[in-house]
Amino acid sequence: MLYQSLYRQYRPMGFQKGFIGQEHIVRTLQNSLQTGRLAHAYLFSGPRGTGKTTTAKILAKAVNCLSADKPVMEPCNRCELCLAVNQGNAMDVIEMDAATNRGIEEVRDLRDRVKYAPALGRYKVYIIDEVHMLTTEAFNALLKTLEEPPAHVIFILATTEPQKIPATIISRCQRFDFRPLTEDLIATHLQSIAQQTGVNLNQEAANILAFRAQGGMRDAIGLLEQVIAFAQEDITPEQVWQALGTVDKARLVELVSSMAAKDIGAVLKLLDEFGNMGLDFRQLLTDLLELLREKLLQVTGARKTKISDDLGLKTAPEIMTMMDSVASGLQDSRRWTHPRLATELIMIKICNSLKSGPVREQKQPPAVKSPKKVKQEKPVAGEKWDDVLSLVKGESISSYAWLKEATPFIEADSLVLEYPGNYGLHCENIVKPEHRQVLVLAFRQVLGIDVYTVRTRE
Ligand SMILES: Nc1ncnc2c1ncn2[C@@H]1O[C@H](COP(=O)(O)OP(=O)(O)O)[C@@H](O)[C@H]1O
Ligand SMILES: [Mg+2]
Ligand SMILES: [Zn+2]
C-alpha cells in the first residue's frame, strides 16, 4: 500500500467520530439533517486545516447514507455510498478544486450535468474547494446554477478567503465560519492519534506542537508526523525542539519575563541552552512574536487568551516595543551569518529599551587601563582571533574598527586588549556600551570568556 500521510489516515469519518470542535457548526448541521431542512448551498469559510473539507464529506455522506430512507444525523460508513465517499470515488459526490480548475469550462460542464439525477443517493453533492480562486466568468456561471438549483443538488463551497467571493454568491449560501482550534483541543487530539499510531507522546511535547500549529489541525498532525519520523517511539519535548527547531511555550514565557526583568544574564543563559539544542533562532523570533501578539490581544481586551501573567509585561506599549524589536530582527534575519549572536543582540537591545528598572548586568563594566603588572599572560591563537574579528565585523563595523587594532592576551580568566601607547581614543571607545554588547558576546562564543580589560603598551 502507498504511504498515506497521517492527516489523511485520521480524517474523521463522522461528526461523532474523531471530529473536534466547531460545535456550533456540527449542531446546526445535525439539526437540519434531522428535520430534513437542508440548504441548497453551503459556504464553509475559515483557516486551513480546521475541518471544512472533512465536514463537507461527512455532510455529503449524511444526506445520502443508505442506512435509512432519509438523511441521517451521522453517516454509517458501512453502506455502499458512505464507503465510496470515503474512497473518493462516489458518483454522486463530485469534488472540484478551484485552485487547479479555475475556469468557465469546468463550471459550464457542471451546469450541464447538475440536471441529471443522482446515481445512487438522494442528492448530488458538489464540493468546490478554494472557491475564491474561480474566475469572474466562472462565478457568474456558478451563480446561474445557484439561482435555480435542481431539487437534488447540494453545493458546498469551501474557502480560506471568503472576502474574495462575490456577495451575490454568498447571499445564496448558508454560511458557516470555521474557527481556529484551541491548543488544548489540538494537544488532546494529537495524543489520541499518537496512541493509535503506537507512539508515546509526552503531554508537554503535545503542547509545543499545538502551539506551533496555530489553530490548524492539519498542520498539527503534519508536525507530529515530522517528529515521529525523527524520534520514532517516545516523543519528548527535547525531541520536538530538535525535530522542529522550536521551543515550548513555558520556555518562551521564561525568556520574555527575563527580558521584562532586564535580566540579561538569564536571557543569555536561556539562549545558550536553546543554541545547544540546535534551535532555529528565526523560528524562535517567529514564535516569540506570536506569543507577544496573544499577550497584546489579552492586555487590550481584544480577545480572551490563556497567556499566563508570568510574562512580566503589563502594558500594551511595553509589549509593542518588544514586538517591534523582534519583528525588525526577524526582517533582518535573512542576512544573518550568526543567528545566535544576532538573537542575543536583539534581546539585549530589548532589555535596554524597556523603561522601568535598572538593567541587571552580570559582570562589572571593565576597567579602562588596568594597572600594569607582570602577570601570566597567554596570546590568543591567531585563528581564534580571526573568528572573533569576523563575528564582530558581521555585527558592527564600528566595533570591528576599534577592535582590530588590539593585540589580545588571556590573563587569569579575562581577556586583555592591548593597544599601542598612542591609541588612547581606541581604549576609550572600545569600552562603550554599544561596542561592549557586541564584543562580550563574540568573546563568549569563540573564547568562552566574557570579561575584558584594556591597556596600552609602553
Ligand atoms: N475539526 C477537526 N477535527 C479533527 N481533525 C481535523 C479537524 N480539522 C482538520 N482535521 C484534520 O486535518 C485534516 C485536514 O482537514 P480538512 O478538513 O481538509 O481541512 P480544511 O478543509 O479546513 O483545510 C483532516 O484529514 C484531519 O486529519
Ligand atoms: Mg480543505
Ligand atoms: Zn452510509
Asked if 198 and 157 sit in the same domain, the reply is no
Asked if 221 and 281 sit in the same domain, the reply is no
Asked if 15 and 164 sit in the same domain, the reply is yes
Asked if 328 and 275 sit in the same domain, the reply is yes
CB 292 within 8 A of CB 259: no
- Any domain includes 360: no
Strand partners, 9: none
CB 70 within 8 A of CB 238: no
- Any domain includes 271: yes
Q: Is the pLDDT of residue 306 over 90?
A: no
Strand partners, 259: none
Distance CA 408, CA 426 (A): 14
CB 371 within 8 A of CB 456: no
Distance CA 19, CA 49 (A): 12
pLDDT tens across 148-194, in order?
888 899 999 999 999 999 999 999 999 999 999 999 999 999 999 99
Asked if 124 and 170 sit in the same domain, the reply is yes
- Any domain includes 16: yes
CB 131 within 8 A of CB 102: no
Distance CA 172, CA 164 (A): 15
Edge to edge, the sheet with strand 41-45 lists: 93-97, 124-129, 153-159, 41-45, 174-177
Ligand nearest the Cα atom of residue 82: 3
pLDDT confidence of 361, banded at 50, 70, 90?
Answer: very low
Cβ count within 10 A of residue 126 = 24
Q: Using alpha carbons only, give the angle 442, 269, 401 rounded to the nearest 5 degrees.
A: 15
Indicate the residue among 215, 244, 273 that finishes a domain. 244
- Ligand 1 proximity of 52 Cβ (cutoff 6 Å): yes
- What is the distance in A from the centroid of ligand 3 to the CA of 432? 75
Task: Classify the phi-psi angles of 252: left when phi > 0, otherwise alpha if psi is within -120 to 50, otherwise beta.
Answer: alpha
Distance CA 63, CA 9 (A): 23
CB 343 within 8 A of CB 443: no
Q: Is the pLDDT of residue 422 over 70?
A: yes
Asked if 168 and 226 sit in the same domain, the reply is no
- Ligand 1 proximity of 221 Cβ (cutoff 6 Å): yes
The set of long-range contacts for 2-11, using a CB threshold of 8 Å and a minimum separation of 24, is 5/222, 5/225, 6/193, 6/197, 6/221, 6/222, 6/224, 6/225, 6/228, 7/49, 7/217, 7/218, 7/221, 7/222, 7/225, 10/193, 10/196, 10/221, 11/54, 11/57
Asked if 286 and 406 sit in the same domain, the reply is no
- Any domain includes 368: no
Q: Is the pLDDT of residue 372 over 80?
A: no
Asked if 385 and 321 sit in the same domain, the reply is no
Position 332 scores a pLDDT of 83
Distance CA 248, CA 67 (A): 46
CB 22 within 8 A of CB 33: no
Strand partners, 157: 43, 128
Position 182 scores a pLDDT of 93
- Any domain includes 364: no
CATH value at residue 40: 3.40.50.300
Instruction: Count Cβ neighbours within 10 Å for each residue of 343-377 and write b for 16 or more, e otherwise.
Output: bbbbbbbbbeebeeeeeeeeeeebeeeeeeeeeee
- Ligand 1 proximity of 49 Cβ (cutoff 6 Å): yes
CATH value at residue 346: 1.20.272.10
- Any domain includes 365: no
- Ligand 1 proximity of 21 Cβ (cutoff 6 Å): yes
Task: Supply the DSSP symbol for 233.
Answer: T
Question: For the chain, what percent of residues have pLDDT higher than 70?
Answer: 93
- Ligand 1 proximity of 48 Cβ (cutoff 6 Å): yes
Ligand 1 atom nearest to CA at 21: 1
Cβ count within 10 A of residue 192 = 14
Map grid coordinates 441521517 to a residue.
72
Ligand nearest the Cα atom of residue 64: 3
pLDDT tens across 13-71, in order?
999 988 999 999 999 999 999 999 999 999 999 999 999 999 999 999 999 999 999 99
Question: For the chain, what percent of residues have pLDDT higher than 90?
Answer: 38
Asked if 239 and 253 sit in the same domain, the reply is no
All 3 cell numbers of residue 120?
Answer: 445512487
Average pLDDT of the chain is 86
- Any domain includes 382: yes
Query: What range defines the domain where residue 43 resides?
Result: 6-177
Ligand 1 atom nearest to CA at 129: 21
Q: Is the pLDDT of residue 106 over 90?
A: no
Position 308 scores a pLDDT of 67
Q: Using alpha carbons only, give the angle 452, 338, 327 rounded to the nearest 5 degrees.
A: 110
- Strand 153-159 vs strand 377-379: parallel, antiparallel, or unpaired? unpaired
Pocket test for ligand 1, best of 8, 11, 209 (most atoms within 8 A of CB): 11
Position 307 scores a pLDDT of 67
pLDDT tens across 107-129, in order?
777 777 888 889 888 999 999 99
- Ligand 1 proximity of 7 Cβ (cutoff 6 Å): yes
- Any domain includes 370: no
pLDDT tens across 388-399, in order?
898 888 888 888
Helix residue spans in 36-123 (DSSP H): 52-64, 80-87, 104-113
Pocket test for ligand 1, best of 132, 218, 224 (most atoms within 8 A of CB): 218
Asked if 26 and 121 sit in the same domain, the reply is yes
Distance CA 243, CA 352 (A): 33
- What is the distance in A from the centroid of ligand 3 to the CA of 69? 11
Indicate the residue among 177, 204, 236 that finishes a domain. 177
CATH value at residue 445: 3.30.300
Q: Is the pLDDT of residue 85 over 90?
A: yes
Ligand 1 atom nearest to CA at 19: 3
pLDDT confidence of 218, banded at 50, 70, 90?
Answer: very high
Question: For the chain, what is the domain count?
Answer: 4
Coil, strand or helix: which one is 174? Answer: strand
Residue type for position 389: L
pLDDT tens across 128-149, in order?
999 998 888 888 888 988 888 8
Higher-pLDDT residue of 241 and 363 is 241
Indicate the residue among 227, 244, 261 that finishes a domain. 244
CATH value at residue 217: 1.10.8.60
- What is the distance in A from the centroid of ligand 1 to the CA of 287? 23
Q: Is the pLDDT of residue 257 over 70?
A: yes
- Ligand 1 proximity of 218 Cβ (cutoff 6 Å): yes
Position 364 scores a pLDDT of 46
pLDDT tens across 232-246, in order?
778 888 888 778 877
All 3 cell numbers of residue 322?
Answer: 518588544
Specify the residue with its C-alpha closest to ligand 1, atom 16. Answer: 51
Position 340 scores a pLDDT of 86
Specify the residue with its C-alpha closest to ligand 1, atom 20. Answer: 49
Asked if 91 and 219 sit in the same domain, the reply is no
pLDDT confidence of 318, banded at 50, 70, 90?
Answer: confident
Asked if 265 and 338 sit in the same domain, the reply is yes
